[in-house]
Amino acid sequence: MKEIKILYLYPDMLELYGDYGNIQVLKYRIESRGYSVIIDRYSIDDDAPDFNNYDIVFAGGGADNEQSILAEDLIKYKDNIKDAIKNGVFFLLICGSYQLFGKYYKDVDGNIIPGLDVFDYYTESNPDRKSRCIGNIVIEVELNNFKTTVIGFENHGGQTFNISRPFGNVLFGNGNKFNDTQEGYFQNNVIATYLHGPLLSKNPVLTDYIIKYCLDRKYNENIILENLNDEFENLCREQLLNRFLK
Amino acid sequence: MKNFFIILAMKILNIILKIFHKNGGNLLGKIAFNWNPEILKYFKTNCPVIAVSATNGKTMTNNCIAYTLKNSGYKVVSNVEGNNMETGIISTLLKNCSLFGKIKADFLVFEVDESYIPIVFKDFKLDTLVILNFFRDQLDRNGEVESLILRINEFLKTYNGNLILNNDDPNVARLGQANPENLNVYYFSVDKYKYATENIKEAGEGKFCPFCKTKLEYEYYQYSHVGKFNCPNCNFGNNEIYKLATNIDLKNRCFEINDVTYNIKGNSIYLVYNYTAVISVCSLYNISTEIIRNSLSTFSLNNGRLEELEINGVKTIINLAKNPTGSNVSLRILNEDDDEKELLFVLNDNIADGFDVSWIWDINFDNLNNVSRIITSGTRAYDIAIRIKTSGFDSCKIEPYLDLTEAIQALYKTDIKKYVIANYTSLQPTRKQIKHFGGLEK
């Protein structure tokens, strides 16, 4: 049986805003098609994982306090992570983790918290602590030359700069910065984004893009995923796109 | 003099509101506050002020304390309608004071929104503060739980009144150390109940010791992160318990404290926590055990907090749930009931609910016990339907309706027992429509 292995980073610390739901949606859509899924969890004090052993690496957003603790831990795996990305392991990084994989994060007091420096972007917190990009967001993304809209919820103070290739163009909401036209960072096997919601819950096309990518890579074929009953997802998308875009 | 006229004007406005049968909510407080933001300082009282705060359970605990004190013959002023922000408390004071701001009562009892404790009681002397729990709640509106706790901790550093804390919530128990000189700290606790678990079952907060950052060890979890914990490094959590509830019997709706049996209406573990807090407060003010027992056995809110109704002969239980823990404890009650049942979940995303509905992914819908069908409704009916489907519940048995009336009609197509969970702004419309459907209300 075909199998997808997911590494879930810091589930006990990066667990705000329902980001765990992304793992549940992946599991649901993988298992509904008769494939199997293995979810390994890694957190501080656990044995070091080899990122190359996985098909998907997932990390979510967390409280500010906890994020700085795990930044120190994650940096130990910098070379292994870079290697895994180069080898094509899929990385799905939400909010705090998105920031963490960049060059640095500059906090309100001007302190620089070094990131993993895997990607060239960097994040600076908004000088006004109380002012954050909060709200529903819709972006347009292109996956395998196919354009689709992605619906989510953003809640971030950090403003991210120097994005070489965004995940999507903003149709509604803020994006990487206040009133930005671009959201997130994207390469074939990396989606780094501010979108909670959870991201994959209302975007089955995106979820299936990730699943297909992993199966194709692992089993070296061009797989056609079996259609699932997406009635609720489609109704939800129709309702929300009507509400936000009209 | 200015304050005198503000109060006079608000009293007149209150009379006008009454003529039109309007309660006004926190309107009076809002106007008075805009006129003079320092108006709270003007109110004078000689009686003890009791405040209740928490993420969940404020209204029930507050109203039950007020009810018990009233049953003891005291005159009690309380914001029983649940207006718990600064302006809501000012409204309650305005309605009950003389033109000179004097409040004649034996007790003032307030439920206070967690974030307003430091603001309201900066100028208003507090005799007893009760804190029940802290859970994640509307993160897009309130921010992270930790920053809220730190603000309350800061306030408590100079507070010397009675402090009644839930010893089973690490984020609450830690506040007992905010002011080491305060000798009036009382901890309450609830003994392990039948459905307590060894591992955490629902999303929770207190994972690390707030003092030494060591991972906390739990003997058991009652619900969410509430349970018997201890820090293996610094022994945090090991406090002397003022009131301990034992022999928790939810089936027969009773528990014991100091060998006295208390019967309650309702069958949830979180109610036992709320009522143990009530008993702790009332004991501090020497209310007789008999009056407390009678009060607890007759008290119920009947406003959608575990409200039990008969709708055309079908048993229906309605409960408010505005955050993951509120929903998880509602599902606990449902799962602890072996009867066949159907669930209606109503989810709105209006301003007062928070626009972000991603918290529904922190609700544990796994292995629902004997649920044959689920109806969803509200402005986010589809979001919650997707959530439930993804947990493994058969999607053929899920029916989403954006329209609440249609949802309720669909719900009562069968005469199977109903559980209804509704979030903040959806609760009252849902109650009203269900009662209307059952001919209980026009």
CB contact under 8 A, B395 and A65: no
Q: What is the mean pLDDT of residues B44-72?
A: 96
Residue B331 has pLDDT above 80, yes or no: yes
CB contact under 8 A, A153 and B400: no
Q: Is some CB atom of chain A closer than 8 A to the CB atom of B144?
A: yes
CA A82 to chain B, closest CA, distance in angstroms equals 30
pLDDT band at residue A57, thresholds of 50, 70 and 90? very high
Residue B442 has pLDDT above 70, yes or no: no
Which contiguous run of DSSP H or E holds residue B17? helix B2-19
Q: What is the mean pLDDT of residues B47-57?
A: 96
The domain covering B307-437 belongs, at the CATH homologous superfamily level, to Mur ligase, C-terminal domain (3.90.190.20)
CB contact under 8 A, B390 and A25: yes
Q: What is the mean pLDDT of residues B402-430?
A: 97
CB contact under 8 A, A21 and B361: yes
Structural tokens at position A79: 């070379």
Chain B residues with CB-CB distance to A235 below 8 A: 382, 400
Residue B144 has pLDDT above 90, yes or no: no
Q: Is some CB atom of chain A closer than 8 A to the CB atom of B387?
A: yes
pLDDT of residue A195: 97
Q: Is some CB atom of chain A closer than 8 A to the CB atom of B398?
A: yes
Q: What is the mean pLDDT of residues B1-5?
A: 83
Most A CBs within 10 A among B212, B361, B379, B384, hence the mutation to make, goes to B361
pLDDT of residue A9: 95
CA B386 to chain A, closest CA, distance in angstroms equals 6
* CA angle, B271 then B274 then B278, to 5°: 130
Residue B407 has pLDDT above 80, yes or no: yes
Report chain A's mean pLDDT, rounded to a whole number. Answer: 94
User: pLDDT by residue (tens digit) across A198-246?
Assistant: 999 999 999 999 999 999 999 999 999 999 999 999 999 999 999 999 8
Residue B124 has pLDDT above 90, yes or no: no
**CA distances to A41, B47, B282, B289 from B107, in Å:** 52, 6, 12, 19
The domain covering B2-298 belongs, at the CATH homologous superfamily level, to Mur-like, catalytic domain (3.40.1190.10)
pLDDT band at residue B204, thresholds of 50, 70 and 90? confident
CB contact under 8 A, A65 and B146: yes
The chain A residues in contact with chain B (CB within 8 A) are: 12, 15-21, 24-25, 28, 63-65, 134-136, 153, 155, 196-198, 201-202, 229, 231-233, 235-236, 239
At which residue do the structure tokens 């159907």 appear?
B342
Q: What is the mean pLDDT of residues B361-388?
A: 97
Contact A22, A199 (CB under 8 A): yes
Contact A182, A166 (CB under 8 A): yes
pLDDT of residue B47: 96
The secondary structure of B325-351 as a DSSP string is HHHHHHHHHHHT--S-EEEEEE---SG
User: pLDDT by residue (tens digit) across B369-381?
Assistant: 999 999 999 999 9
Chain A residues with CB-CB distance to B382 below 8 A: 232-233, 235-236, 239
Q: What is the mean pLDDT of residues B74-103?
A: 91
Residue A65 has pLDDT above 70, yes or no: no
User: pLDDT by residue (tens digit) across B272-292?
Assistant: 999 999 999 999 999 999 999
Chain A residues with CB-CB distance to B145 below 8 A: 63
ipTM of the complex: 0.96
User: pLDDT by residue (tens digit) across A97-140?
Assistant: 999 999 999 888 888 888 999 999 999 988 887 789 999 999 99
**CA distances to B40, B48, B148, B230 from B43, in Å:** 6, 14, 27, 42
pLDDT of residue B83: 86
Please report, for chain B, the start and end positions of each structural domain, with discontinuous segments joined by +: 2-298, 307-437
The secondary structure of B34-101 as a DSSP string is HH-TTGGGG-B--S-EEEEE-SSSHHHHHHHHHHHHHHTT--EEE-TT---SHHHHHHHHHHHB-TTS
Residue A228, phi then psi, degrees to nearest 5: -115, 165
Percent of chain B scoring above 90 in pLDDT: 75
B2-298 and B307-437: same fold?
no
Domains of chain A (ranges, CATH numbers): 3-245 (3.40.50.880)
Q: Is some CB atom of chain A closer than 8 A to the CB atom of B291?
A: no
Q: What is the mean pLDDT of residues A144-154?
A: 96
pLDDT of residue B237: 95
pLDDT band at residue B206, thresholds of 50, 70 and 90? confident
Residue B364 has pLDDT above 70, yes or no: yes
pLDDT of residue A64: 67
Counted across chains A and B, CB pairs separated by less than 8 A come out at 79
Q: What is the mean pLDDT of residues B122-139?
A: 90
The catalytic site residues of A sit at 95, 196
CA A115 to chain B, closest CA, distance in angstroms equals 22
CB contact under 8 A, A18 and B358: yes
CA A230 to chain B, closest CA, distance in angstroms equals 9
